[in-house]
Structure 1
Amino acid sequence: MRFFQICFMVLCLCACQPKEYTLHLVGDSTMADKENPEFNPEFGWGQVLPEFFDGNVTIVNHAKNGRSTKSFIEEGRWQQVMDDLNAGDYVFIQFGHNDQKTNKPERYTNAYSSYRANLEKMITEVKAADATPIIFSSIVRRNFNGSGVLEDTHGAYPFVARTIAKEMNVPFIDLQVSSEKLVNELGDEPSKALYLWVPADTNDYFPKGKQDNTHFSKQGAQAMCQLALDEMKKYRFNFLNHLKK
């Protein structure tokens, strides 16, 4: 009888222990960790993601500046993700900014062929490892024209990512749409605060200043991260139970 009581107590203790989750982030500079964060005003949204979770969620940020699906795979970075992956993990996949660069053959992929094939490869391999892939569209560039209209810069890539996610039955987080809405609501001038707009002689990291409509300030990274989390809540992922209140 004593043996069964001990077994029951052990089972109860195990059941009460919060489940731990690992999120692997795969993408480009808009997601990546930046060097010298105590001085560098540039942040990726994946860099600030750990701030939103308690200690039961581990975030492994594999994202790197300047990478496309092609270069990420060819440099062996994707294989490293797969080597680190365990059953039950999640993989956030966000590419497009660099896949579209036709002047950089080491990065460029055609949206309808090689970009599509690379995303399909990633999804298939993550599923085969009993992990969960989540596809993200790219975040909008702050690209207002002379009439104050925010123009698209990503072409077919978000559409292809959305299509693949639907066809392969994986979650799709449309940051292209949600970030475009946010930037439009703020407008041309106020939206600069979300991006890497640094006046000259105000920051030692960029003493000459910086006008960058692709990458984010810490405020911008936090805002984009919140958009991602809001979109993910639609899927009710279990790891979201560990968001800080």
Structure 2
Amino acid sequence: MGFITVQDSKTKIFIAGDSTAQTYNEERDGLIKGWGQMLDCYLNENIEVVNHAIGGRSTNSFIAEGRWDKLLSEVKPGDYVFIQFGHNDASTRPERHTSYEEYEVNLKRMVEDVREKDAHPVLLTSLVMRTFVNGHLTDNRLKGYPAITRKVAKEEEVSLIDVNLKSRDFITMLGDEASKPYYRWVEPGVDPKKPDGLQDDTHMMEKGAKKVAQFVAEGIAELKSGLSENITLIK
């Protein structure tokens, strides 16, 4: 007779995504953090996060490299799969770029694959890039990909967490200077992996990654699903 361990009895949140969500090792990667590694801060002990997000991947490359199939092989009925892409789909690099049509097809395929496992797909729009012009947030580098994510969520009746809207509103409220500490803006000598300093408006430091994880947790709570009761936002 087999035994069910505590870990096996937990509901799992799998994350498919890019560098903005991935888990980093400070010794290897420096002070960069992804929201996926901070999500535990807002979840109780009944939930386990399994983070498959990896830098530089679009829906096309995540699927082509077998990463999506590997994630699916671990999913059990009742689990949740959070799907967040767009940053690299918008890239002009041929190994990353995904046309709008391909992106929509890929998202729909991912949703269908998760449902075939009797699990729950959740679509997330991409984190806003911190691009200010004359004091105004004008990020347009994500192009139409967040809108397509919203479209697929509506058409396929999939739960949606609009990280793009939540982060856009937050960064707009903060303004140019006050929003810099949330992203990977570091002075020389602060980050051992970036000794000359860095001004990165795409990726986040711990402060920013934790804030985005909070947005995701708030989104989970707003879904009013079985997962919602496991949110602990007082942190």
- Same structural fold, with TM-score higher than 0.5 when normalized by the shorter chain: yes
Say if 2:77 and 2:118, in contact at 8 Å, map to a contact too.
yes
Give the 3 Å change call, closer, same or farther, for CA 93–37 of structure 1 in structure 2: farther
Say if 1:28 and 1:95, in contact at 8 Å, map to a contact too.
yes
* Structure 2 partner of 1:231: 219
Aligned equivalent of 1:58, options 39, 43, 48:
48
Q: Give the TM-score of the pair, scaled to structure 1.
A: 0.88
Specify the SS of the correspondent of 1:82: helix
Aligned equivalent of 2:130, options 133, 139, 142:
142
* Structure 1 partner of 2:83: 93
Distance 1:100 1:82 in 2: 24
* Structure 1 partner of 2:107: 119
* Structure 1 partner of 2:97: 108
Distance 1:237 1:36 in 2: 34
Offset at residue 138 of structure 1 (A):
0.3
Specify the SS of the correspondent of 1:238: coil
Alignment RMSD (CA, Å): 1.4
Offset at residue 229 of structure 1 (A):
1.4
Gaps of 5+ in 2: 1-8
Specify the SS of the correspondent of 1:183: helix
Say if 2:13 and 2:80, in contact at 8 Å, map to a contact too.
yes
Opposite residue 107 of structure 1, the aligned amino acid is R
Structure with max Cα Rg = 1
* Structure 1 partner of 2:166: 178
Say if 1:37 and 1:43, in contact at 8 Å, map to a contact too.
no
Say if 1:99 and 1:110, in contact at 8 Å, map to a contact too.
yes
Gaps of 5+ in 1: 1-18
Offset at residue 108 of structure 1 (A):
0.4
Distance 1:184 1:37 in 2: 32
* Structure 2 partner of 1:6: none
Specify the SS of the correspondent of 1:86: coil
Identity within the alignment, %: 38
Distance 1:23 1:41 in 2: 24
Q: Give the TM-score of the pair, scaled to structure 2.
A: 0.92
Distance 1:37 1:218 in 2: 14
* Structure 2 partner of 1:129: 117
Opposite residue 100 of structure 1, the aligned amino acid is A
Q: Is residue 2:142 matched to residue 1:154?
A: yes
Distance 2:192 2:143 in 1: 36
